[in-house]
Structure 1
């Protein structure tokens, strides 16, 4: 399972855009299911609204590198760049950019045993 969240200006719209992009990719549709995970803020936390996280439940053939390629293609179409946090198999990586080095770091971090 993979969880994707975003923080920053326009984060909610960008998360919705990523969800649409993922659902339009045949490889994603073939090997995973995409869900919204909505959580209420903790009492006393800043903000009164619930926040959403994308959750991908994948089959055995899914690869972080496949997701990374899809993510990179989506990210290149965006003018805004909210901070993205991706959690997978107990590991978490935060991305603040779309350059090749950042994406390679994401793949290494999430794929490491």
Structure 2
């Protein structure tokens, strides 16, 4: 099972962060290629004080089932960005790795491979007997 965090990059919030994240989660849940393998919840990365009770949520925490590849999830997020008139730049995080997904840059196959690789989607290495899973 993979766990991912999605948030808007600083300076890319031309509107409400919570609205963008709700739209993204709705998109992911309606994507038939993800086949209901993604669950999401909204969070605020910093504890709220009494002074900031009115602020919205600005982090989307995603849990992807083991049958879902990182590539499918990233591709769907990029499709969501492409469908938006003024899509924000997103930061997709898995573990200690953060990848910025700018909305104004077209993503080709090689860029998608680099993003997926950075997020740790090398299932051949981690599943092969004696393979290097990066935990040295």
The alignment's TM-score, normalised by the length of structure 2, stands at 0.65
* 1:19 and 1:34 in contact (8 A); partners too: yes
Question: Cα RMSD (Å) of the superposition?
Answer: 2.9
- Note the residue ranges of structure 1 that are not aligned, 5 or more in a row: none
* 1:75 alignment partner in structure 2: 81
* 2:14 alignment partner in structure 1: 9
CA 1:108–1:22: 2 relative to 1, 3 Å: same
The alignment's TM-score, normalised by the length of structure 1, stands at 0.76
* 1:31 and 1:62 in contact (8 A); partners too: yes
Q: Which has the larger radius of gyration?
A: 2
* Superposition deviation, residue 6 in structure 1: 1.1
Matched length: 112
- Note the residue ranges of structure 2 that are not aligned, 5 or more in a row: 122-133
Q: Which has the higher strand share?
A: 1
* Superposition deviation, residue 89 in structure 1: 2.6
